[in-house]
Amino acid sequence: MLDTLREQAVRNLTSVRNQKPLVHSITNFVVMNFTANTLLAMGASPVMAHAEEEVEEMVSLAGALVLNIGTLSGPWIASMLKAGRKAAELRKPIILDPVGAGATELRTRTALDLMQAAKPSVIRGNASEILALARTGSKTKGVDSLHTVEDLGDRVEEMALDQRAVFAVTGPRDLVTDGARTVMVGNGHPLMSTITGTGCAATVTIGAFLAVDPDPWSAAATALAFFGLAGEIGASTSHGPGSFMTALIDALYNLSPEALAAGCRFMQP
């Protein structure tokens, strides 16, 4: 299984660069520029369209839809629901990023509503956000995790089976499961937690891989390996958070499929 994932990582990155899929993101103000540049650097094409009047038309053109609840407002929630329902109708892959779920009732309820309405292919969050979606009473510190992947136990696999979705739980090591298949991804670097938006950037990276890989499980796992490895490469030449952000974008641009095959670290849980 691990060798197959390594081969799929190469295929997915190559396909993204050849096909340049359009990734439609309804995302938050904090990360729009960074996540758009993430997609451009890796070879995909971003569009950040959130007006309710155009989201259905835009999502019909896209290869994947990203829904990110980082800076919520009533109109944006309506746009996300409308785009999500349209994408589901068109069988477009959807990835949900439940930023800060568990911090407030609005965030938690909105994430659950989107899960119900859009049936996302992948849900990517930190351990606290994912636990909040299980309605365990889990809390987050703003948008930061107070839990680890290990705190989830078997619960996340049960959630994946119940939702018929892939859960990608990110942290020092990432866990990706569809309930039947589970893999850990060991790529990444501590500097990734020192700048805002790396989780959101990981989400759009999964979105790009979803647009070219019909298996959401392998799309999520290989995307996280690619993004984490780029973080390692960027950290090796940077001197702190500021230079790291630039180096990360450069690494996403320069990382070859061959280097990805050599550097990705998939592990059995």
| Tens place of pLDDT per residue across the chain (269 aa) | 888 999 999 999 999 999 999 999 999 999 999 999 999 999 999 999 999 999 999 999 999 999 999 999 999 999 999 999 999 999 999 999 999 999 899 999 999 999 999 999 999 999 999 999 986 544 444 444 456 676 776 789 999 999 999 999 999 999 999 999 999 999 999 999 999 999 999 999 999 999 999 999 999 999 999 999 999 999 999 999 999 999 999 999 999 999 999 999 999 98
Burial of 194 (0-12, 13-18, 19+ CB in 10 A): middle
Residue-wise pLDDT tens digits, 76-97: 999 999 999 999 999 999 999 9
**Residue 262: other Cβ atoms inside 10 A:** 10
Measured distance CA(52)–CA(264) in Å, rounded: 39
Measured distance CA(73)–CA(7) in Å, rounded: 41
pLDDT of residue 148: 63
Question: Using an 8 Å Cβ cutoff, are 210 and 95 in contact?
Answer: yes
Question: Using an 8 Å Cβ cutoff, are 78 and 52 in contact?
Answer: yes
pLDDT of residue 135: 66
pLDDT of residue 150: 66
Measured distance CA(76)–CA(167) in Å, rounded: 24
DSSP letters for 143-210: TB-SS-GGGGTTHHHHHHHHHTSEEEE-SSSEEEE-SS-EEEE----GGGGSSTTHHHHHHHHHHHHH
Measured distance CA(194)–CA(142) in Å, rounded: 15
Q: What phi and psi values does residue 171 have, to the nearest 5 degrees?
A: -175, -155
Residue-wise pLDDT tens digits, 28-68: 999 999 999 999 999 999 999 999 999 999 999 999 999 99
Range 70-98 burial, b when 16+ CB lie within 10 A, else e: bebeeebbebbbbbbbbbbeeebbbbbbb
Could you tell me which of 165, 179, 180, 167 has the C-alpha nearest to residue 121? 165
pLDDT of residue 81: 98
Question: Using an 8 Å Cβ cutoff, are 168 and 224 in contact?
Answer: yes
pLDDT of residue 147: 65
Residues 6+ apart with CB under 8 A from 82: 52, 55, 56
**Helix 74-89 / helix 105-118 crossing angle, nearest 10 deg:** 20
pLDDT of residue 269: 87
Measured distance CA(17)–CA(208) in Å, rounded: 10
pLDDT of residue 153: 67
pLDDT of residue 38: 98
Q: What phi and psi values does residue 125 have, to the nearest 5 degrees?
A: -160, 175
* DSSP label of 30: T
